[in-house]
A and B are shown apart, each in its own frame.
Chain A
């Protein structure tokens, strides 16, 4: 009878702290510490599961230069692309945009397959460790029945600041704000209509690099 604790074997019991695991996920461990954590993870299914869950919850895209979510392709067809305009057209295409500043606006038709491919190809060499990609925490894309003053949260390591934009469904800019924080609550003077849908997006800027979320849609509770 073979020993089941072979190459897929027994787990260690002294786990790294959440702080260390978070730093591992966010790429903030030093060159000395990272191999140690990798060695632990190699033996420890418990910590690997914790990281996989964290990635799942955060919807993070750390590392991968671009991620196209198939579900968004369906959503895209329902969105009035022309009315929304170039900014949203670039975003709703479901591509993480990562390119050089200054303009966060698309100069490529990202809504086409060719455009997506070009952006992916262009993004790879310019991937810069100084800023990771930005991903949405809340509200999730397509969220419904939100309050009239929803809060927004996203994550992106080491950005200098973020540019938040709120747009109506037809692409009209409703409100924008610059912030160094990764959360934002709409101020009371910004009035959202009940039952209406809106888009929001965030551009993260650091060291001449821009990373953008896709346009995120939400609907206010009727």
Chain B
């Protein structure tokens, strides 16, 4: 059972008559509109686009006697503000997709993966160009070697435990800063996370060496 709800939320959910609902909604907005607006800005666009998203999110939050907000009282965990940000973000994405369709193409997904691979291979001691696989690679031997190196890197990553693989993805696939990752995974400190990251990379290097990957020479 969760603790006491924030006052603006509990007042809103407890309001019975239209007058008190309006008053409680105004108080709720007073408390959380800045936060909701910041979420609406996450997806970019001009002021009109942001306001459309913001208005959509508010409408959805208030719809059906605040049905979505009531879910927090049922199964909501974490701080209300954390939950609210995630819910509003989902609503904003719904509005965005409804208006513009899916934002990312498969081609850009693949391009992002290649960039992530470059970063990781570079840090793990592999020539990033060889860890990449290029369709335009004319050198057959180098191409084969690149595939082998790529497979070795994948195998090395797969040997990490799930927490370390998550760390690798947050850092090298998503390109997040170490302080941001520390907040996401609740690391005891940023410095500790830097040390852990270095240990993970060293582990990757060791696994690659075991697999016969000593350097980047094909």
Give the B-binding residues of A (Cβ under 8 A): 1-2, 4, 6-8, 17-29, 35, 38-39, 41-42, 45, 48-58, 60-67, 124, 127, 137-140, 151, 153, 155, 157, 180-183, 185
Q: Is the CB of B82 within 8 A of A155?
A: yes
With contact pairs A7-B157, A127-B188 given, residues A138 and B35 touching in the complex (Cβ less than 8 Å): yes
| Closest partner residue, chain A, to B77 (CB atom) | A23
The answer to whether the Cβ of B22 comes within 8 Å of any Cβ in the partner chain is no
How far is B72's CA from A22's CA once the two chains are assembled, in angstroms?
11
How many residues on the B side are at the interface (Cβ–Cβ under 8 A)? Answer: 63
List, in ascending order, chain A residues with CB within 8 A of B76's CB. Answer: 19, 22
* Closest residue of A by beta carbon distance from B106: A4
12 additional contacts (CB under 8 A) given A22-B83, A28-B78, A50-B90 = A8-B113, A19-B78, A22-B77, A26-B77, A55-B180, A55-B183, A62-B186, A63-B186, A151-B31, A181-B7, A182-B79, A183-B32
Partner of A183, one of B31, B72, B87, B133: B31
Please give, as numbers and ranges, the residues of chain A lying within 8 Å of B30 by CB-CB distance: 151, 185
C-alpha spacing A41/B174, complex, angstroms: 12
Q: Give the tally of cross-chain contacts (CB within 8 A).
A: 172
Residue of chain B at shortest CB distance from A139: B34
Known contacts A20-B77, A61-B183, A64-B179; A183/B7 CB under 8 A: yes
Given A52-B174, A61-B183, the answer on whether A155 and B81 have CB atoms closer than 8 Å is yes
B110 within 8 A of A: yes
Q: Interface on chain A toward B: helix, strand, loop, or mixed SS?
A: mixed
Q: In chain B between 64 and 108, which residues have their CB closer than 8 angstroms to a CB of chain A?
A: 71-72, 75-83, 85-87, 89-90
- List of A residues within 8 angstroms of B170 by Cβ: 48, 52
- Closest A residue by C-beta to B4: A180
Cα distance, A22 to B179, chains bound together (Å): 18
- Are B35 and A57 in contact (CB-based, < 8 A)? yes
Tell me the complex Cα distance, A26–B72, Å: 15
Q: Which of B8, B162, B186 contacts A35 (CB 8 A)?
A: B162
A41 to B194, CA, bound (A): 20
Specify which chain A residues have a CB less than 8 angstroms from the CB of B4 in the assembled complex: 180
CB-based contact A153/B169 at 8 Å: no
Q: Mark B139-157, 1 if CB is under 8 A from A, else 0.
A: 0000000010011011001
